[in-house]
Structure 1
Amino acid sequence: MTIAAIFVRLYQIGIPDIPSSVEIQFASMINNYMTGEFFIDYNPPLAGLFFTALARFFGYNADSLDQLPIGVPHTLFPYCQLRIVSAFLGAISITFAYKTLRSTGVSHFISLFGSFLMIVENSMITEERMISADGIFIFFISLFLSNQKIAEVKDRFTTSWFIHLFIASLSLGLALSTHWIGVFIFSYAFVSLIIESWTLVEDINVSFKYVWANLIVKSLSYLTVSLTIYLALFKVHFDLLSKKGPDYNKLSPAFQHSLENNHLENIFSNVDFNARVMFRHYKSGKYLHSHEDYYRSSNHQQVTLMDNYDELNNIFKVIRVDDEFEALSASSILAPWRVRLKHESTNSSLVIDQDHKPPLSEQEYNFQVTTDHNFGDSDDNTKKYSFLLKMAINYCKADDARYALRALDSVFQIYNEEAGCYLLGTPLVLHEGFAEGQNEVICIQEPSYEASLWYIDWNDHPEYAPNKKRVAFDPFTFWQKLTEIHLYIFKKLYMGNGYTDETISSVSDLVLLKTGFIHWVDPVNHAVIYLLGNFIVYYMIVGSIGIYGIFKTCQLLTFNPFQASASLDSSNYKYDHKTLDYVILYFLLLIPLSFVKIDLYLFDYLPALFVGILVVTQLFQWGYEKATKITFVFMAFFSSLSFLAYVKFSPLIYGLQWTQEKCLKMIVSPDWDRGLCGAYPSSE
């Protein structure tokens, strides 16, 4: 079975001969590790560090970095070698799955049946042949489950028991360090431990001291070993990424300052009149930006939020309202103070247009933010350009920053008195002109408070002396970095952009296989690699979960507390207790997907799919004990169907030649991406 698993994963491993869309992300990650440029990923760093180490082993280094544009062959990047390692890990995970089943009382032939379902499961094959975190994650899950279940049937506190417990704790830490869903594997370890302890309590031959000792030793092992691995890998991650990189602008100023070549070295503390500044949005970390392009609705200059700090169009000048010729000498800006904000590169002043709505937020109480570059006559109304800086007292970082404008320390609202509204940055993304990909800025009368807060990130002044006071930064510690990155990821995963956005696919779409994922399309050579699961296996999992639900319902409805224990059905008891463990893990891996605000794809379901196949085998083991012959008939029937589905859809796994007619005939769900069949030639 292991050899068969290796074969189906290594077959045509060189196709495609360029990195796929997902592999490009890992290649960029590897490049960043080698150059030390900081980046943020939703997943913990183990997979990236693992593939980086492998890439170095295969001769890839900073001197041979590929820029890795999509669709171009990469002669230096060892993508094929990395795929081979990933494929081997995927094949070995099936061996550990077999050991897991055997240690939970499943017979040899039923365990082989479960292993066979994993071998021919199309989506597992496709993903494990790629450079991705999912194959590694499944490998560590299988390693953890096998050693956890073996430890449960070993004599406790023996040498063999301690070895399996240590390997289980080690693999639990590695799983936790590989994927953001790993925290739910970590949670399951303790839920499973509680279930095990409850089972031991039911045994009158086991003392309470023995139960408590087992619970404490396992808990300490899981906690100490797993968290040590997790923290150590993040320490390596932060130590390697010491320079500013692609996600530099998503970091706080203190984090940015801890990186090499940052833009905050020796910035001035005091912000005086006529200073050149960059306003940074408190909630998103993006910069107030304008450029010489125009809204379609009003033909006025666009004002947006932009990621990049090193953009001249982010620079505004803070001017006193009554300083017509900008001739006053530098003096402190005390709060609250009325100012005019001049956009330096376009020589225009920030203004609120009450006659037009923002391009995306078109409610009655929203106004368009623009400049007077193409706005009309501005001589008759200075209030139009007057903004009041209202300090957010509870957000300012120092006492003096509450009363005088200080770089980084002062946090404030920008209020336009004439329109009676506050400048606010939204998470809505513009899709027009040169503002494409930038966020909308509006002026709103009743804003969400944090979304209306700003601070000054950078400043300069022509009259500043060299000895002018600079902003002092405290050392940014490992724990501060760890906390900031985890808060950022948590907000992105579970809070999104502040709006109620729907993900591309729902959890039901993944479970019922209504959607796939295009890894690679080559219309010239008529080949496609499309992540699409074996629908026979997918629906077997749904059916098995449903049958267990019916079983538990009937069990509860017919429960008799006075029934003698000797009359209990042992096969029912084993099916109930062994399956419950896997069902809990299945839903712990599945439920989080219902709450995340990121886009979901089929590969997000694969860890739950792996566990779901274990649930299927427990059902067949129960059937084997109840009706052996009919169970073997069902096993043969579903094995044949699963193998047939694997063969029929194999061109999508391996990027093989196919015809458009055969492709359309097999894409039976209207939700699958039928457009991929256009890459195949028609036989007509």
Structure 2
Amino acid sequence: MSEAKNRKRNTAKAATASASLSPVDAFDGNDDPSNANGTLHHEDALKEISQVRCEEINSAPGYLSSWLNGCSKSFAFNIEIDAMSTALFLLALLTRMWRLEQPRSIVFDELHYGKFASLYMKNIFFFDSHPPLGKQLVALAGYLAGFDGETEFDRIGGSYSPSVPLWALRFVPALFGSLLVPVTYHLALSLGLAQLSAVLAAVLVLFENSLLTQSRFVLMEAILMCFSALGLLALLKFRRQRSFTFSWWFWLILSVVFLTCSLCVKYIGAFSMFLAVYIMARDFWKMLGNSSISDAKLWAHFIARAAVMTVVPLGIYLGVFYLHLNLLTRAGPHDNIMTSAFQASLEGGLASITRGQPLSVVHGSQITLRHTHGRACWLHSHPHVYPVKYPDGRGSSHQQQVTCYSFKDVNNWWIVKRPSIKDIVVSDPPDVVKHGDIVQLIHGMTSRALNSHDVASPMSPQHQEVSCYINYNISFPSQNLWRVDIVNRDTEGDVWHTIHSHVRLIHVNTSQALKFSGKQLPDWGFHQHEVVTDRFISQDDTVWNVEEHRYTKNSDEKERERDMVSAEFVPLQPTHLTFFQKMWELQYKMLLVNQENVQDHVYSSEPMEWPLMIRGIAYWISPVTNAQIHLIGNLVTWYTATICLFLYMLIFCFYLLRRQRLVYDIPEDTFEKFKFGGELCVVGYAMHLVPYFFADRTLFLHHYLPALMYKILGLVVVLEHLDYVFW
């Protein structure tokens, strides 16, 4: 090795050590990073200087000296302005803000996020499958700019009305996209890279086409990525602090705050949290092998990290949803996704049409039965019958079809009847139905009883068919008795109540529960959903609740039919749900329902295509000039970074093999820096990419952008190492 090359390496090593403490030195034998490289910690130096100055001031005559007697516990404030970081931020701000209002049309998913901001302005409840923090930030900008929400977001490419403060709405993602550039710069420095390498990483992010495009419109990825990068940066700074000092706690908590904010923008922010947990576990594993650290201190480290990683995310997550649910108090377009009780808690929801609806279900009650969990649909029947034979050769009962229908309809009405009472008019006093009672359900429009029997259901042959019984004068007796099982009777009581009581209807003859199967019937069933009975009773799809409810007051069948046809379908007084009840239901629905999933989208893509950017996305096309906006990446960056990730793994395996033979090609600190920097990038990249291979939903190229950031950092790690080795 030449003398000039040695001088170069020693100079680079000294510069790196003086700039920042390497991540691999975070834990030494004394668990004190301040002495890891034999130099005085920066904060200690400031403290000594401050104390010397205090002693000089204390020697001054008069009252000034006595006033400063206690300055031994002085504070030192060190304000630094990083010129490079500032320049990168201003340059990013310029590229993201230039002509921000162009085009003044709805671009891609601005259709959704603009609509959500509009609904926030009007306090109208909406449903989205991702947490609301990013949408709240956009709505806040709109609120401060005077947005009234009175705008229709009807189609991609539609023009914004003059009343929409478009610059303010787009400012939020543009600001976060601009911040991502200097944060990337500091991330690279925190990985121990040279300043030139850190600048290269920031410049690659700055001029990355896909990140630039995503930052200029009302989309969530820029906000998500900025919070994730800030959380990772704070975590790397935390690793350099002396244990259990103020700065140690500060950076740990700040890291978790930013990572939780990322999670609260989109659930894929959880991948960044998993990466943080991986880094913490990696460091803790290293501490376990250090015999100079006591068991008590190891437990203290574990408990501190576990407590912060539990309490802080939970508090922020609940706080974001508390704000969300307290802002959105009025009924809106997505109410039918939620349960009846949730809808009834909204202003103008289930209480908007009819008031004074009876609470208790009794003999003679006219009800609609809603599937409580999962898909919103109502128990339904109509005069059509099951086909005699199915395409697979199986026969049916040829009885009247019973389905679950996703819309309000007069055929959703059923009458609750005691088997021993012929008249179905409500008596005085009413005969209340309770848990364990046996009832019949009579279809309101056809007057046939809900029935089940030992015949396989059409779409789920392992379950029994459900029908309304038709007497064909053959030896096929009716089996139309059902036992009421109130699931939540511990909180709601034994009486069957409207809205609140969650019930299972158990078929008396077979002890099977009435169930929504989730499968769709073919043309003969009008593509409505199948209803069956299932031996496995304790499952969500067997739970129903009464939504509409009225008392039967007329014994004449024709009069009853006229009453049902004219009945309103959104009854009940407003109900009150606690925050945690609403929060739990909303979380359940968010995990179960995906409003944004569009099957067979022309610009959808697969994760295997993303690293080589085989397919982009057309975000907007001008109807006048044919101008277009496409999401497409920088080909040089994407391909080079992909190659560098594989190259890193080859180089690292080469070093491992050589070191196994006790051949050390590079100094230990250089190897550790290369190992940690590349490991963080490869693991971070994999954590943000691999889960999509198992996702059962429509995917787009923009889902790849969080992984792209780690790929860019990995590119710079490899390039700097190659420069160190060969030049």
SS in 2 for 1:36: coil
Moved more, 141-150 or 504-513: 504-513
One-letter amino acid of the structure 2 residue matched with residue 390 of structure 1: R
* Deviation for aligned residue 1:273: 3.0
- Does the 8 Å contact 1:190/1:219 carry over to 2? no
- Does the 8 Å contact 2:122/2:148 carry over to 1? no
Distance 1:553 1:489, change over 3 A: farther
- Does the 8 Å contact 1:21/1:520 carry over to 2? yes
* Deviation for aligned residue 1:100: 0.7
Counterparts of 1:13 and 1:520 in 2: how far apart (Å)? 15
Counterparts of 1:150 and 1:327 in 2: how far apart (Å)? 74
Q: Which of 132, 137, 150 matches 2:237?
A: 150
Q: 2:703 matched to 1:604? A: yes
Q: Which of 123, 127, 139 matches 2:226?
A: 139
* Deviation for aligned residue 1:484: 3.0
* Deviation for aligned residue 1:198: 4.7
Structure 2 counterparts to residues 527-542 of structure 1, below 5 A: 527-542=627-642
Q: Could you tell me which residue of structure 2 aligns to residue 413 of structure 1?
A: 505
Counterparts of 1:211 and 1:623 in 2: how far apart (Å)? 38
Structure 2 counterparts to residues 625-644 of structure 1, below 5 A: 625-628=724-727
Q: Could you tell me which residue of structure 2 aligns to residue 455 of structure 1?
A: 545
Q: Could you tell me which residue of structure 1 aligns to residue 516 of structure 2?
A: 425
- Does the 8 Å contact 2:366/2:551 carry over to 1? yes
- Does the 8 Å contact 2:382/2:411 carry over to 1? no
* Deviation for aligned residue 1:23: 1.1
Counterparts of 2:202 and 2:385 in 1: how far apart (Å)? 59
- Does the 8 Å contact 2:504/2:513 carry over to 1? no
SS in 1 for 2:481: strand
Q: Could you tell me which residue of structure 2 aligns to residue 575 of structure 1?
A: 674
Counterparts of 1:219 and 1:365 in 2: how far apart (Å)? 46
Counterparts of 1:354 and 1:21 in 2: how far apart (Å)? 51
SS in 2 for 1:339: strand
**Cα deviations by residue, 1:101-140 (Å, 9 ceiling, x for unpaired):** 0121112222222222222323222222221221101111
Identity of aligned residues (%): 21
Q: Which of 86, 91, 97 matches 2:184?
A: 97
Structure 2 counterparts to residues 199-210 of structure 1, below 5 A: none
One-letter amino acid of the structure 2 residue matched with residue 477 of structure 1: T
Structure 2 counterparts to residues 127-276 of structure 1, below 5 A: 127-153=214-240, 164-165=251-252, 167-198=254-285, 220-221=307-308, 223-263=310-350, 267-276=357-366
* Deviation for aligned residue 1:243: 2.7
Counterparts of 1:566 and 1:550 in 2: how far apart (Å)? 15
Q: Could you tell me which residue of structure 1 aligns to residue 482 of structure 2?
A: 389
**Cα deviations by residue, 1:533-568 (Å, 9 ceiling, x for unpaired):** 33443333433333343345455555539x599985
Distance 1:206 1:411, change over 3 A: closer
Q: Could you tell me which residue of structure 2 aligns to residue 82 of structure 1?
A: 169
Distance 1:158 1:411, change over 3 A: closer
Structure 2 counterparts to residues 484-633 of structure 1, below 5 A: 484-492=585-593, 505-554=605-654, 560=660, 563=662, 569-628=668-727
**Cα deviations by residue, 1:445-486 (Å, 9 ceiling, x for unpaired):** 76776334433333210459xxxxx99999633333333333
Q: How many residues align?
A: 598
SS in 1 for 2:239: helix
Q: 2:162 matched to 1:69? A: no
One-letter amino acid of the structure 2 residue matched with residue 110 of structure 1: S
- Does the 8 Å contact 2:438/2:484 carry over to 1? no
Q: Which of 128, 135, 144 matches 1:48?
A: 135
* Deviation for aligned residue 1:180: 0.9
* Deviation for aligned residue 1:248: 2.7
- Does the 8 Å contact 1:172/1:222 carry over to 2? no
Moved more, 82-91 or 550-559: 550-559
SS in 1 for 2:660: coil
Q: Could you tell me which residue of structure 2 aligns to residue 639 of structure 1?
A: none
Distance 1:10 1:413, change over 3 A: same
Moved more, 230-239 or 247-256: 247-256
SS in 2 for 1:113: helix
- Does the 8 Å contact 2:457/2:464 carry over to 1? yes
Distance 1:208 1:444, change over 3 A: closer
Distance 1:51 1:306, change over 3 A: farther
Q: Which of 530, 553, 557 matches 1:441?
A: 530
SS in 2 for 1:476: coil
One-letter amino acid of the structure 2 residue matched with residue 140 of structure 1: F
Distance 1:161 1:260, change over 3 A: same
Distance 1:291 1:32, change over 3 A: farther
- Does the 8 Å contact 2:520/2:530 carry over to 1? no
**Cα deviations by residue, 1:327-346 (Å, 9 ceiling, x for unpaired):** 685645575646242244x7
Counterparts of 2:361 and 2:475 in 1: how far apart (Å)? 23
**Cα deviations by residue, 1:78-114 (Å, 9 ceiling, x for unpaired):** 2343223312321220111011101211122222222
Distance 1:319 1:482, change over 3 A: closer
- Does the 8 Å contact 1:134/1:606 carry over to 2? yes
- Does the 8 Å contact 2:658/2:664 carry over to 1? no
* Deviation for aligned residue 1:74: 2.4
Counterparts of 2:522 and 2:632 in 1: how far apart (Å)? 31
**Cα deviations by residue, 1:489-536 (Å, 9 ceiling, x for unpaired):** 33458xx9xxxxxx9654334444344444334455324333333344
One-letter amino acid of the structure 2 residue matched with residue 180 of structure 1: Y
Larger Rg: 2
One-letter amino acid of the structure 2 residue matched with residue 228 of structure 1: G
Distance 1:356 1:232, change over 3 A: closer
- Does the 8 Å contact 1:423/1:441 carry over to 2? no
- Does the 8 Å contact 1:170/1:225 carry over to 2? yes
Counterparts of 1:428 and 1:49 in 2: how far apart (Å)? 36
Q: Could you tell me which residue of structure 1 aligns to residue 30 of structure 2?
A: none
Counterparts of 2:180 and 2:297 in 1: how far apart (Å)? 32
Distance 1:453 1:357, change over 3 A: same
* Deviation for aligned residue 1:45: 1.8
Q: Could you tell me which residue of structure 1 aligns to residue 562 of structure 2?
A: none
- Does the 8 Å contact 2:364/2:416 carry over to 1? yes
Distance 1:155 1:624, change over 3 A: farther
**Cα deviations by residue, 1:563-622 (Å, 9 ceiling, x for unpaired):** 599985543322112222233333333344344444332222221221222122212122
Distance 1:327 1:492, change over 3 A: closer
Counterparts of 1:594 and 1:79 in 2: how far apart (Å)? 36
Distance 1:210 1:514, change over 3 A: same
Counterparts of 1:381 and 1:35 in 2: how far apart (Å)? 60
One-letter amino acid of the structure 2 residue matched with residue 388 of structure 1: L
Counterparts of 1:26 and 1:431 in 2: how far apart (Å)? 35
Q: Could you tell me which residue of structure 2 aligns to residue 113 of structure 1?
A: 200
Q: Could you tell me which residue of structure 2 aligns to residue 479 of structure 1?
A: 580
Question: TM-score by structure 1 length?
Answer: 0.73
Distance 1:291 1:13, change over 3 A: farther
Gaps of 5+ in 2: 1-87, 389-397, 555-570, 598-602
SS in 1 for 2:106: coil
SS in 2 for 1:49: helix
- Does the 8 Å contact 1:121/1:534 carry over to 2? yes
One-letter amino acid of the structure 2 residue matched with residue 53 of structure 1: L
Counterparts of 1:400 and 1:43 in 2: how far apart (Å)? 31
Counterparts of 2:242 and 2:416 in 1: how far apart (Å)? 74
**Cα deviations by residue, 1:639-669 (Å, 9 ceiling, x for unpaired):** xxxxxxxxxxxxxxxxxxxxxxxxxxxxxxx
